[in-house]
């Protein structure tokens, strides 16, 4: 499972860089300042939480707790709902499908998923060190 979260983190981080570069170089002349700021926010949160998936992977590798799996799943869902809804809203606006207010209502749900993912990671990491089996000291 830790490899899955590491690979997802890498892909999601790559996508945020691609979207950010596309926005900065191509969309800048087509979109409003407010839309560009929204894209910057979405790509920032996407990238930060992609790095968060590496934290999930690393902690799952050592602790193997279901709460850490929940943290990773919530983080992926949060990225899709939060950043994805922002991208979709801007796309809808630019294509003339209104202001995307219905899609914008998904964004806070994505933010809540991101918050809960960090909480799940927090509670999934044991408070005390897990004891390792003692090595046989006889040679």
Residue 53 neighbours by CB under 8 Å, 6+ apart: 5, 6, 8, 9, 12, 72, 75, 76
pLDDT in tens, 127-139: 876 655 455 555 4
Give me the pLDDT at residue 76, please.
97
Per-position b or e across 106-130, b if 16+ CB within 10 A of its CB: bbeebeebbebbbebbeebbeeeee
pTM for the structure as a whole = 0.84
Q: What is the per-residue pLDDT for 46?
A: 97
pLDDT of residue 117: 96
Comparing C-alpha atoms, which of 71, 100, 9 is closest to residue 46?
A: 9
More confident residue, 27 or 49: 49
Mean pLDDT confidence for 52-64: 90
pLDDT over 70 percentage in the chain: 92
Q: Tell me which of 65 and 73 has the higher pLDDT.
A: 73
């Amino acid at each position: 499972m830790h490899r899955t979260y590491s690979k997802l983190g890498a892909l999601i981080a790559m996508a945020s860089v691609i979207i950010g570069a596309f926005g900065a170089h191509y969309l800048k002349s087509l979109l409003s300042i407010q839309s560009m700021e929204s894209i910057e926010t979405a790509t920032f949160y996407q990238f930060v939480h992609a790095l968060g998936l590496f934290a999930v992977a690393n902690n799952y590798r050592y602790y193997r707790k279901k709460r850490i799996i929940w943290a990773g799943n919530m983080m992926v869902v949060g990225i899709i709902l939060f950043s994805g809804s922002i991208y979709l809203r801007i796309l809808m606006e630019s294509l003339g499908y209104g202001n995307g207010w219905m899609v914008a209502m998904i964004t806070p749900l994505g933010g809540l998923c991101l918050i809960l993912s960090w909480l799940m990671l927090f509670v999934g990491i044991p408070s005390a060190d897990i004891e390792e089996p003692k090595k046989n000291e006889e040679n």
